[in-house]
Structure 1
């Protein structure tokens, strides 16, 4: 069993010069409940089945398994709720940590978030100057909630 501890942020600005290697991601949810999600993800040439438990203070149990790419394509089509999450992912190293920047497309076009995985919620790290407001505990930004209420449907686009 793995524990995922992740913090999520909006950006002050997009560090375009650092966005060099991208991965296209399509993902969908077979089960999407507050206490558990079952996700299928196509990430570049890889595919995964992921089961996640309830989030408690930015941490949750996570189990992830590689699956055949063709199986993932079929499950995304046959079993996952629509719309699928579509995003381009960039990985950036900064002061000993890996930051992930996701640029969403489709129904979530315009949404950009950065994430950092930590060993514990209180682990110290330095934020790059492009990191803005923390949205870790705002459920609107959970990928699993973006299928229910996509960014394009938000009443107020103050984020």
Structure 2
């Protein structure tokens, strides 16, 4: 079974990537708390991803299954997605400890939000925390992409 162990942080205001990232469009075919089914176009390639429940004491760990699909199929599935397609640019930022951060700069309805994620091999795996990270939001459902599709960042009263 595929498992994802991921920690998520907000990024401090003013952070800018060193180079252009990769544009991503993603939508949800199912976004119920027990599972999400996501379709994504990234760099001209399509992906279908199924993720298990997120949250609680094990907020950093959940089941994940991802499959590459034809880009044309991904575009067609995006047209069937629930309202609120996510638009973002993903920048990969390697750091000295050997990890690579995925920094998502959101566009469209989520403009102004910048979030960094790190994938780990174990929940207790140590990692360097770059100075451009702000507060940790792992387990905060507002920052799940499926939540951002339903309630975009621009609509948050408390930002």
Provide TM-score, normalisation by structure 2.
0.93
What does 1:6-155 align with in structure 2 at a 5 Å threshold?
Answer: 6-16=6-16, 18-55=17-54, 56-77=58-79, 79-94=80-95, 95-155=97-157
Q: CA deviation at 1:28?
A: 0.3
Q: CA deviation at 1:126?
A: 0.9
Q: CA deviation at 1:58?
A: 1.0
Q: CA deviation at 1:14?
A: 4.3
Q: Could you list the runs of 5+ residues in structure 1 that have no partner in the other structure?
A: none
Contact 1:21–1:91, Cα closer than 8 Å, also in 2 = no
Q: Deviations over 1:49-75 (max 9, x none)?
A: 000001233110100000000111011
Provide TM-score, normalisation by structure 1.
0.93
Q: Could you list the runs of 5+ residues in structure 2 that have no partner in the other structure?
A: none
Q: CA deviation at 1:12?
A: 2.2
In 2, the alpha carbon distance for the partners of 1:127 and 1:48 equals 29
Count of residue correspondences: 155
In 2, the alpha carbon distance for the partners of 1:15 and 1:154 equals 21
The structure-2 alpha-carbon separation of the partners of 1:89 and 1:14, relative to structure 1 and needing over 3 Å to count, comes to farther
In 1, the alpha carbon distance for the partners of 2:127 and 2:137 equals 16
* Aligned residues: CA RMSD: 1.1
| DSSP-derived class of the 1:110 partner | coil
Contact 1:57–1:121, Cα closer than 8 Å, also in 2 = no
Q: Deviations over 1:114-142 (max 9, x none)?
A: 00000112111110111110000111000
In 2, the alpha carbon distance for the partners of 1:149 and 1:112 equals 16
Q: CA deviation at 1:15?
A: 3.9
